[in-house]
């Protein structure tokens, strides 16, 4: 009888424990506890930690999992993941709210192999620190990976940034222990406006986080944060070797060379700008996309002119985004530039002849002026004698006339 009562007592304890666990886990399982966020000092890299609910501390039949949800301020969406761990590292923009939610999940013998998640969650919202002068944050931050050879980042100052302020750029990625300052600043008028990263200074296909902050006499500047992967910032150099020819009376072949450097040829796509002038002066403009560095178009001898420009970028199969290169120089068929060059040379020859003629005329005029001036100086005394003779002749004639008419009272002097 005693043995029976002991067995019954044991069964009752097991039943009560099972009922308690089922009550805790099946319907009212609690969310995790002690949710905390620790800043590692790596431009927003934070460690999220939590503890299992107290009702699961003695449970061995089921190993709890957790569903972590946090708002990715760089991608502007919610990230959701499940993990058996009680810690997770995530990147946040320290200038924006940090929003985190954690749920408890059970699945195993304790739940009859049915997955159960807590109805409630443990939630945390952290507000950013209100440090830095308003209106002093960096604007228009952009990075360009030129030909996949060197990265150049630039920004503009905020409207209220003091003239004496000194701005700094720091960056971090998972291969670094701590944030690192810009290796080579780009200056404009003595003011930092960008940063140059030569060669393979930064890794590709890796999230890189940037911070632009600064200081001034008025106080610290407001920090701004950015995130990118450099392979998505590539700008290819403009094509510079273009070849245009007619393969027959009906086809026009246009091809160009791939840019040099580390750029993979299979990742390039091209856009061709075709400017066509028909026989009757009709003008058409077309944009043609191609994945090959060549193009064959129908051709007619009646066409007056066909002109082409090309630009390129990395396609979406290799990167998420990229910049278009600048347009190449224009090449035309027929080669109008060569005719214009010949005409220009002829015009230059004519201009040279005109300049020579003008110089000769000017020299002749100057010589004539000098010759005339010399003759004037040599003939100066003779001119004075010649000018006195009329005066002397006039005076003598006046005296003679006065004598002839002296007996008469008609006139005393006659001036001729």
SS3 100: strand
Instruction: Out of 39-53, 57-71, 350-364, 382-396, give the one with best mean pLDDT.
Output: 39-53
**Distance, CA of 311 to CA of 324 (rounded, Å):** 7
Query: Residue 414 pLDDT more than 50?
Result: no
Tens digits of residue pLDDT in 307-318: 899 999 999 999
- 33-126 shares its CATH topology with 139-234: yes
Q: Give the model's pLDDT for residue 406.
A: 45
Tens digits of residue pLDDT in 68-120: 999 999 999 999 999 999 999 999 999 999 999 999 998 877 777 788 899 99
Structural domain 237-333, CATH architecture:
Sandwich (2.60)
**Average confidence (pLDDT) over 324-347:** 70
Query: Residue 393 pLDDT more than 60?
Result: no
Q: Where are the chain's structural domains?
A: 33-126, 139-234, 237-333
CATH homologous superfamily of 139-234 = Immunoglobulins (2.60.40.10)
CATH homologous superfamily of 33-126 = Immunoglobulins (2.60.40.10)
**Distance, CA of 30 to CA of 37 (rounded, Å):** 20
Tens digits of residue pLDDT in 191-239: 999 999 988 889 999 999 999 999 999 999 999 999 999 999 999 999 8
**Distance, CA of 313 to CA of 304 (rounded, Å):** 31
Tens digits of residue pLDDT in 293-307: 988 888 777 677 888
Residue listed under structure tokens 């006039």: 394
Contact of 207 with 227, CB cutoff 8 Å: yes
Band the pLDDT of 343: cuts 50, 70, 90.
Answer: very low
Q: Give the model's pLDDT for residue 384.
A: 47
The mean pLDDT of the chain is 81
CA torsion, ordered 381, 386, 390, 393, to nearest 10 deg: 90
* More confidently predicted of 386 and 188: 188
Q: Give the model's pLDDT for residue 74.
A: 92
Tens digits of residue pLDDT in 235-253: 999 988 888 888 777 788 8
Instruction: Out of 59-63, 109-113, 284-288, 310-314, give the one with best mean pLDDT.
Output: 310-314
| Measured CA distances, 149 to 73, 232, 262 (Å) | 30, 13, 7
Q: Give the model's pLDDT for residue 347.
A: 58
Tens digits of residue pLDDT in 160-178: 999 999 999 999 999 999 9
Q: Give the model's pLDDT for residue 169.
A: 97
Q: Give the model's pLDDT for residue 61.
A: 72
Band the pLDDT of 379: cuts 50, 70, 90.
Answer: low
**Average confidence (pLDDT) over 373-389:** 58
Query: Residue 26 pLDDT more than 80?
Result: no
Range name among 138-142, 194-198, 285-289 with the lowest pLDDT average: 285-289
**Average confidence (pLDDT) over 271-282:** 83
Query: Residue 189 pLDDT more than 50?
Result: yes
Q: Give the model's pLDDT for residue 110.
A: 76
**Distance, CA of 233 to CA of 368 (rounded, Å):** 72
**Distance, CA of 116 to CA of 103 (rounded, Å):** 10
* CA 210, chain centre distance (Å): 16
- List the 33-39 sheet strands across, edge first: 33-39, 45-51, 87-91
* More confidently predicted of 370 and 105: 105
Contact of 233 with 143, CB cutoff 8 Å: yes
% residues pLDDT > 90 (the chain) = 50
Q: Give the model's pLDDT for residue 202.
A: 95
Q: CB under 8 Å to 169, separation ≥6 — which residues? A: 153, 181, 182, 185, 192, 195, 210, 211, 212
Q: Give the model's pLDDT for residue 401.
A: 39
């Amino acid at each position: 009888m005693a043995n029976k009562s002991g067995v019954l007592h044991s069964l009752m304890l097991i039943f009560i424990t099972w009922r308690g666990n089922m009550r805790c886990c099946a319907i009212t399982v609690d969310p995790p506890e002690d949710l905390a966020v620790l800043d590692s000092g790596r431009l927003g890299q934070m460690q999220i930690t939590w503890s299992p609910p107290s009702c699961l501390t003695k449970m061995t039949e089921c190993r709890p999992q957790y569903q972590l949800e946090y708002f990715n301020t760089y991608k502007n969406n919610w990230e959701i993941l499940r993990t058996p761990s009680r810690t997770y590292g995530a990147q946040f923009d320290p200038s924006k709210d940090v929003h985190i939610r954690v749920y408890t999940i059970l699945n195993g013998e304790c739940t009859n192999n049915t997955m159960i998640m807590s109805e409630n969650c443990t939630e945390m919202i952290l507000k950013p620190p209100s440090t830095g002068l308003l209106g002093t944050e960096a604007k228009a931050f952009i990075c360009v990976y030129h030909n996949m050879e060197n990265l150049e980042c630039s920004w503009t100052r905020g409207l209220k940034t003091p003239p004496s302020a000194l701005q700094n750029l720091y960056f971090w990625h998972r291969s670094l222990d701590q944030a690192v300052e810009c290796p080579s600043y780009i200056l404009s008028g003595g003011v930092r406006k960008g940063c140059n990263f030569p060669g393979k200074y930064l890794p590709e296909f890796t999230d890189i986080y940037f911070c632009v902050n600064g200081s001034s006499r008025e106080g610290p500047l407001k920090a701004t944060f950015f995130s990118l992967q450099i392979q998505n910032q590539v700008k290819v150099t403009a094509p510079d070797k273009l070849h245009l020819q007619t393969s027959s009376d009906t086809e026009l072949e246009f091809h160009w060379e791939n840019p040099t450097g580390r750029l993979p040829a299979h990742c390039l796509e091209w856009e061709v700008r075709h400017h066509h002038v028909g026989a009757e002066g009709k003008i058409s403009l077309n944009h043609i996309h191609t994945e090959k560095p060549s193009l064959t178009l129908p051709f007619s001898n009646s066409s007056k002119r066909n002109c082409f420009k090309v630009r390129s970028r990395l396609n979406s199969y290799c990167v998420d985004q990229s910049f278009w290169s600048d347009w190449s120089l224009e090449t035309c068929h027929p080669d109008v530039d060569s005719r214009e060059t010949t005409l220009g040379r002829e015009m230059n020859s004519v201009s040279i002849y005109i300049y020579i003629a003008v110089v000769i005329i000017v020299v002749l005029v100057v010589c004539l002026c000098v010759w005339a001036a010399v003759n004037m100086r040599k003939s100066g005394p003779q001119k004075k004698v010649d000018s006195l003779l009329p005066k002397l002749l006039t005076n003598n004639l006046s005296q003679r006339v006065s004598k002839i008419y002296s007996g008469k009272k008609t006139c005393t002097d006659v001036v001729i």
